[in-house]
Amino acid sequence: MNLLHDRWLPFHAWDGSITYRSPLAIADPEVVDLALPRADFQGAAYQWLIGLLQTALPPKDHDDWLDRAAEPPSREALEAAFAPLATAFELEGDGPRFMQDRDPLEDAKPTSVSGLLIDSPGANGLKLNTDHFVKRGRVEAICSDCAAMALFTMQINAPSGGAGYRVGLRGGGPLTTLVLPEDAQASLWQRLWLNVLPSQSLARQGKIEPLRSDDDTLFPWMGPTQLSDKKGAVVVPDDMHALHAYWSMPRRFRLLFEDTPCRCDLCGRETARSVAEIRAKNYGANYDGPWQHPLTPYRRDPKKPSEPPLSTKGQPGGLGYRHWSNLVLDDAENSGALPAAVVHDYLYGKVPANRQARREGEAFEPLLRQARLWAFGYDMDNMKPRGWYGVEMPLVAVPPEQQEVLRSWVQDVTELARQVAWMVRNQIKVAWFSRPADAKGDMSPIDTHFYEATQAGFFHALFGMQQALLDGEDTHMPTDIAEVWYRGLQREALRLFDAQALSGPVAELDMKRVTGARRNLQAWLSGRSKGSKIITQFAKKGGFALAGGKESTTTEDVAP
């Protein structure tokens, strides 16, 4: 099976049908999306195709990128571009196998193919019978197509897995951010091409060498595995090809194919050739050093600029607008936020190039007028997945010289939301418990509810900020935007408090405590308590007046 020639990827067509075709289908205008059977496979398949385009068909510069955005390559052009790489994408056979160890690993005991799935119970979980929610035995045999994507998904997300089982190049369970067109009817080519970087924009990590399919610094499975069973045996950017990050391989696997018909436990299709077992071995490539994957956001410690940046991971509580700034806007010197290179290039490279082309009479605006940010990834607790997050958010672009102002405004509104969410949670605890400081338990659902309820308001404000900046306002956040945001937070905070504080059995409610907590919250939200300085400062910055007179309260808290 060759992953460049065979029909192994499921595609959504305009008419709603799903067909399995080769990667050559990506430029077919009838194809609108991928249709993998799992959310982690869907994200991985996007990364696989983006990596393939970045490797085989990189645009020279933004002008070249714009030309191919407007006119996708023909099937013949794609076929010619992929042909030199074909030997590196064989999934079976006696030669090098895609993302598998060159060694057949015959001294390793075969184990279930479910070991390729991050959410399957591990050996320790099976031994201790702790597979309460994700049961063993769900996946016993899968088709070759799903085996290929399971293998790739594991290699790019590899969490810690015990002694010598290495994590991925981006760390275990990294977050991925991609740029998508706003138009829901956009073709798959438009979705993928937005995330391909011109060669001039690709971070110069590693060696720049002519493309060869047998280059094991690019495709590590084309050579002997770089073992890490000895101290100091690490894989660093300077020793590898500049595109290696797309094809990293920290784990050692061999798929054991059988001519055994079965119904695939993942996609449900009947197959004549299946994979029920794999061989795995520890001490594969140990990635170290300043790796920065182009599709992942990072964070650098501003106080330690010489240290490598850390990739952003999924966290409990999910993803939402409170993370938007760090995923989109550079802030290396203050918060240390480093958005993914593909997002940075969209804002600072593709959009300006598009504007310039339009000024010169070209017409590319349908693709670049608006875009969305797709953020996804596992939330891992070491080797245990706590969940999978995938969200889409608007991606707002303003001229580079106005990015700093936008970042400042966005941080003001998200910080206000964070403080209000914290205050609501605290006052609900005061309403619920006689000794709230001693109360235990997970209160994060209150925060989650608050952020979800105010998300639409945030993005409405964000578009307003964008328009204000494009209209020439670049000193103060427009008063109407600031006041509408504040009033919305105030209204939702009180509504959430009322719904939660009075949610218990009537006989157990302490109305004196409840009314006292509500009074504290209301005073804090109105800027009338000593600890509500953030409210008064936000109103002052926004240029609007807080309603109501001065009132003395004992609420002096401020969120950490």
- Residues 166-179: tens digit of each pLDDT: 999 999 889 999 99
Residue 172: strand, helix, or coil = coil
What average pLDDT score do residues 368-391 get? 87
Residue 403, pLDDT score: 87
Residue 127 has pLDDT above 80, yes or no: no
Q: Using the predicted structure, report yes or no on whether residue 459 has a pLDDT greater than 90.
A: yes
Band the pLDDT of 43: cuts 50, 70, 90.
very high
pLDDT of residue 364: 64
Pure H helices in 121-223: 123-128, 144-157, 188-193
Q: Is 461 a residue whose pLDDT tops 90?
A: yes
**Does residue 483 surpass a pLDDT of 60?**
yes
Q: In Å, what is the CA distance from 285 to each residue of 98, 100, 102, 155, 268?
A: 15, 12, 13, 11, 34
Average pLDDT over residues 267-294: 95
Confidence of residue 473 (pLDDT cuts 50, 70, 90): confident
Contact by Cβ (8 Å): 364, 376: no
Tokens standing for residue 355: 């504007």
Report CA-CA distances (Å) from 451 to 176, 233, 347, 410. Answer: 21, 45, 26, 15
Q: With contact defined as beta carbons under 8 Å apart, do 364 and 357 qualify? A: yes
* pLDDT surpasses 70 at 537: yes
Instruction: Identify the three-state secondary structure at position 458.
Output: helix
What is the Cα–Cα distance from 344 to 328, expressed in whole angstroms? 7
Q: Does the pLDDT at position 136 exceed 70?
A: no
**How many whole angstroms separate alpha carbon 404 and alpha carbon 356?**
22
| Helices 479-501, 533-542: inter-axial angle, 10-degree rounding | 150
Query: What's the mean per-residue pLDDT of the chain?
Result: 90
pLDDT of residue 204: 61
Tell me how far apart the alpha carbons of residues 372 and 364 are, in angstroms, rounded to a whole number: 17
Contact 192, 35 (CB under 8 A): no
Angle at which helices 533-542 and 403-432 pack, to 10 degrees? 150
Is residue 123 within 8 Å of 165, Cβ to Cβ? no
pLDDT at 128: 62
The pLDDT of 228-248, averaged and rounded, is 93
Closest to 457 measured CA to CA, from 432, 428, 493, 405: 493
pLDDT for residue 384 is more than 70: yes
Say what the pLDDT of residue 554 is.
47
The pLDDT, as a whole number, for residue 550 is 46
User: What is the spatial distance between Cα 255 and Cα 265, in angstroms, rounded to a whole number?
Assistant: 16
Distances in Å between the alpha carbon of 68 and those of 58, 105, 186, 204, 271? 10, 43, 15, 23, 37
Kindly tell me if the per-residue pLDDT of 22 is higher than 80.
yes
Our CA angle for 278, 170, 123, nearest 5°, is 35
Contacts of 193 (CB under 8 A, 6+ apart): 53, 65, 68, 69, 72
pLDDT bracket for residue 134 (50, 70, 90): low
Alpha helices, DSSP H, located in 133-279: 144-157, 188-193
pLDDT over 90 at 507, yes or no:
no
**Which of 46, 44, 14, 52 is CA-nearest to residue 32?**
14
Phi/psi at 65 (nearest 5 deg)? Answer: -60, -45
How many Å apart are CA 426 and CA 424, to the nearest integer? 5
pLDDT of 553 above 70 = no
Residue 274 dihedral angles phi and psi, to the nearest 5°: -140, 170
Q: pTM of the full predicted structure?
A: 0.91
Q: What angle do CA 306, 315, 302 make, to 5 degrees?
A: 20
252: Cβ contacts below 8 Å, ≥ 6 apart: 101, 103, 105, 225, 280, 281, 282, 283, 284
> Given a cut of 90, is residue 306 above it in pLDDT?
no
What's phi and psi for 207, nearest 5 deg? -90, 140
Helix 479-501 vs helix 403-432: angle between axes, to the nearest 10 degrees? 20
Task: Tell me the pairing of strands 9-13 and 18-21.
Answer: antiparallel
Distance CA 58, CA 304 (A): 34
Q: Which amino acid, one-letter code, is at 94?
A: D
Start-end of H helices in 360-402: 365-368
